[in-house]
Structure 1
Amino acid sequence: MFTPSRPDRVNDPVVKRVQVLRTVVGLVAVTWVSLSYGLAADADAVVDDRFDQIRTTLIVLGVTCPIALAAFIAAARPPNRRLFLRRVGKPAGALLALVVALAVPRLITGLGYVDENTNWTASGGRVALLFALGAFLLWLAPFVLYGIAQALVHVFRAADLHETVPPLLATLLVWELALFDVFRGAYDGVPVGVRAAFILGAPLTVTAVAMWELRRLRTRHGLTLRAALLR
């Protein structure tokens, strides 16, 4: 549901390893700063902060992704524009699937059928509903968690549109998040130099990896943004 599946898509394992390494180094560095400068009381607080960041990332990505994909398709010339319009269904489906999966629990409680005052033993039907909801949530929880991870890694299957889109979209996203960090005062209380390094660290490294990925696509696979747009 959340991983690209276009048969002729270029999949470079070297790029994937570099992306994973960058992510691991970034997480270790952020954890060290959070604990060293008292931004988080313990490891649990660091995890909570990362989950808050993931939620913000998903919101920003959910807004940015459709706009960026629409702009990419609009910028392409025929016949590639028609080709990309046919391909955009899978990225759009991945975004819709995650939105629906995240909304389902709130819909269940919001409809008034289930709340803290529900008497589950009032009837056999409610007992059956309890088991059905329990089984559904047992399936939904790992689906959502794994889907979030895959959606962030693969930028909502943007590679199904074209291989050059994920690095460009990831770069746009990470600079947007850096602006959020500036406005919300992230890492407040640490030395100015350290704060600047960590606010700029993610966008600069993601941009560097993205530019390197685009270069590999051009030199090793003959794929460029200009060729994709027929410009």
Structure 2
Amino acid sequence: MQRILKCIYNPFYAAQRAFRPSRPGAIADLTVRKIQLWRTGLGTAAWLVLVMSYKPVDTAEGVEAVASDKFDQSWTGTLVLVCAFPFVIALFAFAAQGALRGLYLRRSLKPFGSVAALMGSMATFPLAVASDPATTGFRDFIGIPGKVVLISLCTWSLGFALYGIVLCLLHVFRTADIHEVLPPILATLLVWVMAALDVINNENAEVPALAKIVFLLGAPVSVTALSCWELYRLRKYHNVTVRQALGH
């Protein structure tokens, strides 16, 4: 009961409950946790160096634009994860042998729940602020008390969603609840897909070609290296490998 009440008045605590892995018996390795932090931090650092080098941030408008760009990038990365997530989980589960297949599908309920929680929290914003006649009519219908509740819900959802996006990218939609090898695999897939999208959309067109190549490859290469290190550590110290996870 105390946890439920804390989730109600503390959206950041609720986000931790929704997006952090919590499977009983999961490997608790402090070094692996640090690797995950480094993996997320290096991708962010590479982006910040690019922005600070080639975009003006010496005014309030510049800072706001940079913050907006970072949110858009994080949200795009989250959406890419949401799209790739079902296919990777399905491929992983159906590649597993025997009873492992059903086990992984059952374990996927919490990660899928985290996806639903994030999408649900984001859905409250259009209801509160959109100018569509349907939502305007709804806000008029509920009156002042309803608007107070709606604004409170939107404020709660904002904290939940923003912190949730960070945790989703850090814990890769809590896929360690399915198996420990999945977060580094999905993180690597995500970062290369994001790099491909940058190429397709011609992001940072004002950046010199050589610098663009360095920054474009910096995040994918560093994240891939750390993901491989994470898989190596799982194999060396915990006897956990992708083949073993699949029952081969």
Tell me how far 1:40 sits from its aligned partner.
6.0
* Cα pair 1:39 1:187 within 8 Å, conserved: no
SS at structure 1 position matched to 2:19: coil
In the TM superposition, residue 39 of structure 1 has moved relative to its aligned partner by: 6.6
Q: CA 1:119–1:168 in 2, change beyond 3 Å: closer, same or farther?
A: closer
Matched, 1:210 2:219: no
Instruction: Give yes or no for contact 2:100–2:246 (8 Å, CA) kept in 1.
Output: yes
2:102 counterpart (65, 68, 82)? 82
Is 1:52 aligned to 2:72, yes or no?
yes
Show structure 1 runs of 5+ residues with no match: none
Tell me the TM-score normalized by structure 2: 0.83
Structure 1 residues 82, 191: closer, same or farther in 2, change over 3 A? same
Describe the shift of the 1:22–1:172 C-alpha distance in structure 2 as closer, same or farther (beyond 3 A).
Answer: closer
Identity over aligned residues, as a percent? 39
Q: In 2, Cα distance between the equivalents of 1:113 and 1:174?
A: 36
Q: What amino acid does structure 2 have at the position aligned with 1:112?
A: A
Aligned pairs (5 A) from 1:138-217 = 138-217=155-234
Q: Aligned partner of 1:106: which letter? A: P
Q: Distance in 2 between matches of 1:59 and 1:22?
A: 19
Q: SS at the partner of 1:190?
A: coil
CA distance in 1, matches of 2:144, 2:115: 34
Query: Following the alignment from structure 1 to structure 2, what is the Cα–Cα distance between the partners of residues 200 and 145?
Result: 27
In structure 2, the gaps of 5 or more residues are 1-17
Supply the distance in 2 between the matched residues of 1:2 and 1:111 (Cα, whole angstroms): 34
TM-score when scaled to structure 1? 0.89
RMSD of Structure 2 on Structure 1 (CA): 2.2
- Counterparts of 2:209 and 2:152, CA distance in 1: 49
- Residues of 2 paired with 1:177 and 1:196: CA distance? 14
Cα offsets for 1:104-129 (capped at 9, x unmatched): 332565682436x9669xxxx61211
| Structure richer in helix, relative to its length | 2
Report how many aligned residue pairs link the two structures.
Answer: 226
SS at match of 1:114: helix
Does residue 137 (structure 1) correspond to residue 189 (structure 2)? The answer is no
Q: Distance in 1 between matches of 2:96 and 2:133?
A: 43
